Amino acid sequence: MTTSHSGSDYDEDIPLSQSVKRKAERERETAQEIEGSPAPGDEEYNSDEVLALQPKKKKKKWIKVKRSKSGKITKVKSTKKVKKEEGDEADVPKKEEENEEEGEEEKYKWWEDQNSSDQAWTTLKHNGVMFPPPYQPLPSHVKLYYDNKPVELPPDAEEVAGFYAALLETDHGKNPVFQKNFFHDFLQVLKESGGTLNGITIESFDKCDFSKMHAHFELLKEEKKKLSTQERKQLREERLKEEEPFRYCELNGRKEQIGNFRVEPPDLFRGRGKHPKTGKLKRRVQPEDIVLNIGEGEPIPKAPEGHHWGEVKHDTSVQWLAMWRENIFNSYKYVRLAANSSIKGQSDLKKFEKARELKKHIAAIRKDYTRDLKSKVMLERQKAVAIYLIDVFALRAGGEKSEDEADTVGCCSLRYEHVTLQPPNTVIFDFLGKDSIRFYQEVEVDHQVFKNLAIFKRSPKQPGHQLFDRLEPSILNRYFQSYMPGLTAKVFRTYNASQTMQDQLDMIPNEGTVAEKLLRYNAANRTVAILCNHQRTVTKGHAQAVERANYRIQELIWQRIRLKRCLLQMHPEMAKEDPERFEELSTLTKEDEAAIHARIIEREEDKYRRKFARENDKLKFEEAELLEEKVLNEWLQKVEDLKQEFAKELETGEVEIKTKFDSVAKIDKQIERLTERIATSSVQLKDREENSEVSLGTSKINYIDPRLSVAFCKRFDVPIEKIFTKALRQKFDWAIESADEDWRF
DNA sequence: CTCGCGACTTAGGAACGCTGTC
DNA sequence: GACAGCGTTCCTAAGTCGCGAG
């Protein structure tokens, strides 16, 4: 926390408990001019609010000018209510064939229970955690080279070097910060394990050659890729069997899945964005580091041979089964239940019910912040603008961050340089949010918001300074509680996401094929994802994939044109009878057609060459006689024939009519088929492109009330499997079973 | 009464493995 | 029958926010 450091004391912010008075004050205020420079009234907050400007770096990196003390609100314990969604009118007939969830045991419908306990659990039984395998030293011919000389590393140091070598060619491996942090920790471990075994002293990262180690890991990867389906299955089964005891626990007497039962293996920390600590060694977790949480009186799982647990406790107020402290931030890691567990489901349901509750208050909140945009008290104005941003642009709260984390921001931590103002009321947001994902938006905002942002940026503030120098999430959240218990900044994201989804789904007409409905559902989903700024990086091959898909569509159109040419060849009079139908013939230029031919030829040749290589590979492996070059040439001759045919076709404009398509009826049918394929391919491509930078999953999993999707499926007769994967169906079982087609957010 | 810590949700990318297409 | 391309699952980092120790 930054403490008050300049001489001046700032205005006493009015405690919330006096909001009535605040209101009276505001009512005296007259409506302000909007356009042009801020009207005098806009600036009528106390003038002693001089902004402190000396960059004051304590723990915090960014200048916070003043922290205000606001009055406290009596906290209201959130009333827990288990929502009762009856409405299961036994009208779920088509679900019967869904037998994938092995329904051996009676399913526990926790959402039908009146559960109001504040304990996380009453009984809990589990087998502890699964440790990663111990380090396997590399074969003796695989070494790190230093100054071109092979280095004998003690296993502990070799392991760390290996972590880096594996990443050598990745973005992490090439990142200087990553390299520096890794190298520092590597030397540390090397020192701890007594230095190299062949007298080499390692001092300089640049003299280290990890390429041999890297090549070794690549080789392993290749081998793994080559495994046959059988071998894979075998390995999988072995793994599953080994995991079995750790996968499940007994919670309140019922078997439930555990989420991350595996202890995180040692590795180099891969921080996201410009992370100061990226590349540091994440050390191996020992049983002694682990705290188990388990029911009183239950058998304590055995720690691995020669080890013991750090601690065993019986805390029924928390959800975790085990935890340990990691060494990068000295923070905790927890082993908890899977997403499909009753505990997680309950929290989820509660979250959405809380968001729905906000519906009842949102009008008042909006009215109040609109009014407070003109408050005379700086804190109030900042609050109003911040809430506006959270409400309208779905920003996160934005808590303070320390120096040793990536520089990312949310609403309260926005800085001068993140917001650009373009009169009359356009704002450009440009900052890195959670996970260093860029938030870039040019938007028009409320005029008063615009004016206020200008005030918040006014000199002497400059880049590096906090926009909301008096705000922190806790202030906002405390204020939110006055509207509704449990209301916090993040509830707005849930509320706005689900409400948006509801609105979008309402606009979908109940018509068309399942595929069409799905497309529209995804479009709605996408609107939400965009609202929440859920992005993904386009995959490496994306541009190429799009190009290829476009080619495919072009080729389908070309095929259709050819068929139409056949029609005309057989019945020239058709051109006059239905000129529209043959319009597209003239849209294809000779150059385009030649290009299409060339592509097809190339692809065909490629195909045969690859086939040849593949079969010979196989034969070689079987030590059988290899195919002769002659075979390949025969295949290629086929392609050559095709090429000739194309060339002739291009020259004469005549298509050779195949017996397959020798009647009008046959051709018509084929044209119809092609037309269909062209349509679906085009739609799919468009959808894919629009999705290439948007991640739909995050909002589906965390923000959109699943009951919306369930209701949509029931109302529109879309199988739920089309929308929820198996894992999601398990996670949202409560929603699938409780929401009917009329359910509304 | 504060604030640092503890516990929880939310997040994107890597790894995995299935499937539709030729 | 191979295999690219894709969706799904796994992994763990990075947020939010309440609460209790001092």
Q: Are A375 and A26 in contact (CB under 8 A)?
A: yes
Is the minimum distance from the CB of A695 to strand C below 7 Å?
no
- CA–chain centroid gap for A339, Å, is 16
Q: Which residues from 561-600 of A have any strand C atom under 7 Å from their CB?
A: none
| Phi/psi-derived region of residue A62, left when phi > 0, alpha when psi is between -120 and 50, beta in every other case | beta
Q: Are A333 and A291 in contact (CB under 8 A)?
A: no
In total, chain A counts a number of residues equal to 745
Q: Which two tokens stand for residue A627?
A: 């195919």
Q: Which nucleotides of B are covered by protein (CB under 7 A)?
A: 1-4, 6-14, 16-17, 22
The phi, psi pair for A522, rounded to 5°, reads: -65, -35
Q: HSE, CB side, 13 Å, CA atoms: give it for residue A265.
A: 8
DSSP letter, residue A77: P
Nearest nucleotide by C1' position to the A399 CA atom:
C16
**Distance (Å, rounded) from C-alpha A616 to C-alpha A625?**
9
Task: Looking at A227-293, list the stretches that DSSP marks H as alpha helix, in order from N- to C-terminal side.
Answer: 229-247
Helix/strand/coil for A315: coil
Strands (E) across A413-454 are located at: 419-422, 426-432, 438-444
**Cis status of the peptide bond prior to A424, with omega within 30 of 0:** yes
Nearest nucleotide by C1' position to the A435 CA atom:
C14
Q: Which residues from 334-363 of A have any strand B atom under 7 Å from their CB?
A: 334, 336, 344, 347-348, 351
Q: What is the pLDDT of residue A650?
A: 82
Helix/strand/coil for A426: strand
Distance C9 C1' – A494 CA (angstroms)? 24
Distance B21 C1' – A603 CA (angstroms)? 15
Cα torsion A610, A615, A616, A622: sign? positive
Q: Annotate A369-405 with b (16+ C-beta within 10 A) or e (fewer).
A: bebbbbbbbbbbbbbbbbbbbbbbbbbbbbebbeeee
Q: What is the pLDDT of residue A120?
A: 87
Helix/strand/coil for A512: coil
Q: Is A10 a catalytic residue?
A: no
**Distance (Å, rounded) from C-alpha A79 to C-alpha A58?**
40
Q: Which residues contact A437 (CB under 8 A, 6 or more apart)?
A: A533, A535
From the candidates A146, A164, A521, A703, give the one annotated as an active-site residue. Answer: A703
Nearest nucleotide by C1' position to the A132 CA atom:
C11
The CA-CA-CA angle for residues A303, A309, A311, to 5°, reads: 150
A470-487 tens-digit pLDDT: 999 999 999 999 999 999
A241-268 tens-digit pLDDT: 999 999 999 999 999 999 999 999 999 9
**Distance (Å, rounded) from C-alpha A299 to C-alpha A296?**
9
Virtual torsion, Cα A529, A533, A536, A537, nearest 10 deg: 140
Is the minimum distance from the CB of A345 to strand C below 7 Å?
no
Q: Are A642 and A603 in contact (CB under 8 A)?
A: no
Q: What is the pLDDT of residue A416?
A: 96
Enumerate residue ranges in chain A where pLDDT < 50: 1-60, 65-103
Which amino acid residue lies closest to nucleotide B12, measuring CA to C1'?
A: A536
In this structure, how many other beta carbons lie within 10 angstroms of the beta carbon of residue A56? 15
Q: Which two tokens stand for residue A328?
A: 């990068």
Edge-to-edge order in the sheet of strand A124-125: A124-125, A248-251, A254-257
Q: Which nucleotides of C are covered by protein (CB under 7 A)?
A: 2-3, 5-19
Q: Which two tokens stand for residue A248?
A: 């499940």
Is the minimum distance from the CB of A551 to strand B below 7 Å?
no
Q: Which residues contact A184 (CB under 8 A, 6 or more apart)?
A: A280
The phi, psi pair for A619, rounded to 5°, reads: -65, -40
Q: What is the pLDDT of residue A562?
A: 85
Is the minimum distance from the CB of A267 to strand C below 7 Å?
yes
Which amino acid residue lies closest to nucleotide B18, measuring CA to C1'?
A: A229
Is the minimum distance from the CB of A236 to strand B below 7 Å?
yes
Q: What is the pLDDT of residue A251?
A: 95
Distance B22 C1' – A604 CA (angstroms)? 11
Distance C11 C1' – A128 CA (angstroms)? 19
Is the minimum distance from the CB of A80 to strand C below 7 Å?
no
Helix/strand/coil for A427: strand
Nearest to A711 by CA among A91, A96, A109: A91
- In chain A, the N- to C-terminal Cα span, in Å, equals 39
The residue whose two tokens read 């600590």 is: A277
**Distance (Å, rounded) from C-alpha A85 to C-alpha A737?**
9
Which amino acid residue lies closest to nucleotide C10, measuring CA to C1'?
A: A260
* Three-state secondary structure string covering A170-205: CHHHHCHHHHHHHHHHHHHHHHHCCCCCCCCCCCCH
Nearest nucleotide by C1' position to the A350 CA atom:
B9
Which amino acid residue lies closest to nucleotide B2, measuring CA to C1'?
A: A1
Q: Which residues from 156-185 of A have any strand C atom under 7 Å from their CB?
A: none
Task: For residue A250, list its beta bridge partners.
Answer: A125, A255
DSSP letter, residue A1: -
Element (H, E) at A25: helix A19-28
